[in-house]
Amino acid sequence: MKNISLKEIQKTAFDYFMNYTNFNPESKGFGLTVDATHKLQKASIAATGFMLSSLVIGVENNYISRHDAYEKALMTLKTLVNHVDHKFGFFAHFLDIETGDRYHKCEYSTIDTALCLCGVLTVDAYFQDEEIAQLSTIIFDRIDWEILFHQYENVPVLYMSYNPDKDGDYVDKKPGFIHQWDMFAEQLMMYVMIGASKYSHHAKALYEGFERIKGKYQNFEYIHSPGNALFVYQFPMAWLDLKEVVDQNGINWFENAKNATLAHQACSIFYQHRFRTHNQYFFGFTASDTPKGYRVFGALPNRMNRIDSDGTVAPYGCVGSIIFTPDICKASIKEMGKIKGLWGPYGFYDAFNLEHNQLWISDHYISIDKGLEMLMINAYLTQDVYKAFMSHQSIQIGMEVIGWKRK
């Protein structure tokens, strides 16, 4: 059994981003972070957003000098401006870690660009440096949000991504713009960003445009995504501090995420007779590595009207809700510490599974999952990233535009 402190989770995650990011000053891909540790050539633009945010945590906790963190942030922003493949300002989801070129035929992703932007705005607000501010502004201003605007079932929504290749990732019938954000999911920060852009006059209608499906599991009622994976409630609030914020319809997204967490735990308890891994401590139906590769699972209620899981539990799912349900998540961390082999050099491995009377543990780390653990622990302990991100003028303006206000 290993007694694991919250600071250990934060520090090992920080170390992860320092060791799995390209910090070669001679490389065009400086600052790009791997997508996962079993594919070292493949970088993730979203993971780079988490890495940038980790620099703030590093300085505030004396893991890294301010000068070193500043240099890493500055050179990464130069990479994003000059070398990383993008269309209409939206970055390719995956990249060659050495060159910044689009990786194979992946999509140009709105949500992964937004996650990267969260890191960009965090270091911009934190370092208060003219050169970083100039680079951040270039990255932010070149995004053509308007090209994504369209009507879907008579309401304004955003396309999700773009892929020019007919055999490219997520392309169904024809290449081009793919699917739309017509539902609640992990995209909340995008409306705030649009609210601070030159397309701000569209932001409120787009925010109001996505469907809010309210469902109930046992005593927990909340707005849920169609698939109801736990990560969709967590990722926006890795940066957005919304505990005391409501929109003009009275929705508090923090409380919604709290209810979602409690419902996921209740669902895990109810289905523990079917899945040996799930119980009050090991909860959450989310996206992670599994014995059969990467999968996305969902709790009830969902559009399929059935539980979606193979029994795999991802530690980041439990850890990533610590700001919503701290006592539950601390107990989960303690119990996961008892699983031999689950804790590795950079904290908990990505997932584990106790089905079929044997213990399976993922042999690698996925960067965005490790990043969520790090940011949520920081939000609970000292709020270093929250303080920086929420102080950024763009975030303050965007929140006002879409009608988010303090209680």
Q: Which domains does the chain have, with CATH numbers?
A: 6-406 (1.50.10.140)
Q: What average pLDDT score do residues 167-190 get?
A: 96
pLDDT for the residue 79: 98
Identify each DSSP E strand in 202-269 by its residue range.
Answer: 213-217, 220-224, 245-246
Q: What average pLDDT score do residues 327-347 get?
A: 98
Helix axes 110-127, 45-60, angle to 10 degrees: 20
The residues pairing with 353 across neighbouring beta strands, listed in sequence order, are: 360
All residues at 6 or more sequence positions from 15 whose CB lies less than 8 Å from its CB, including other chains? 63, 345, 346
Residue 2 has pLDDT above 90, yes or no: no
In angstroms, the CA 32 to CA 77 distance is 10
The 3-state secondary structure of 179-213, one letter per residue = EECCECCCCHHHHHHHHCCCCHHHHHHHHHHCECE
Tokens of 12: 């090992």
Q: What average pLDDT score do residues 379-406 get?
A: 98
Tokens of 81: 């401006």
Place of tokens 């070193």: 68
What is the helix (H) or strand (E) element at residue 33, kind and residue range?
strand 33-36
pLDDT in tens, 231-256: 999 999 999 999 999 999 999 999 99
- Average confidence score pLDDT of the chain: 98
pLDDT for the residue 1: 73
The CA-to-CA distance between both ends of the chain, in Å, stands at 43
Query: Model-level pTM?
Result: 0.98
In angstroms, the CA 257 to CA 56 distance is 25
State the CB neighbour count (10 A cutoff) for residue 142: 12
- Alpha-carbon separation of residue 114 from 227, 233, 300 (angstroms): 21, 15, 28
Residue 407 has pLDDT above 90, yes or no: no
What is the helix (H) or strand (E) element at residue 157, kind and residue range?
strand 155-163
State the CB neighbour count (10 A cutoff) for residue 129: 15
Specify whether the CB–CB gap between 233 and 187 falls below 8 A: no
Tokens of 300: 């009830």
Specify whether the CB–CB gap between 45 and 116 falls below 8 A: yes
The 3-state secondary structure of 68-126, one letter per residue = HHHHHHHHHHHHHHHCCCEECCEEECEEECCCCCECCCCCEEHHHHHHHHHHHHHHHHH
Q: Taking the CA atoms of the chain, what radius of gyration do you get in angstroms?
A: 20
pLDDT for the residue 212: 98
Q: What is the DSSP letter of 357?
A: G
- The DSSP code sequence of 15-78 is HHHHHSB---TT-TTTT-EEEETTEEEEEEHHHHHHHHHHHHHHHHTTSS-HHHHHHHHHHHHH
Tokens of 113: 């660009």
pLDDT for the residue 343: 98
Place of tokens 């950079």: 346
pLDDT for the residue 89: 98
In angstroms, the CA 365 to CA 326 distance is 24
CA 368 to chain centre: 6
Q: What is the DSSP letter of 326?
A: H
Residue 29 has pLDDT above 80, yes or no: yes
Residue 7 has pLDDT above 90, yes or no: yes
In angstroms, the CA 201 to CA 194 distance is 9
pLDDT in tens, 104-139: 999 999 999 999 999 999 999 999 999 999 999 999
Q: Is 372 exposed, middle or buried (0-12, 13-18, 19+ CB in 10 A)?
A: buried
- What does the longest C-alpha to C-alpha distance in the chain come to? 58
Helix axes 110-127, 130-141, angle to 10 degrees: 160
In angstroms, the CA 352 to CA 311 distance is 9
CA angle 263, 227, 167 (to 5 degrees): 155
In angstroms, the CA 133 to CA 126 distance is 10
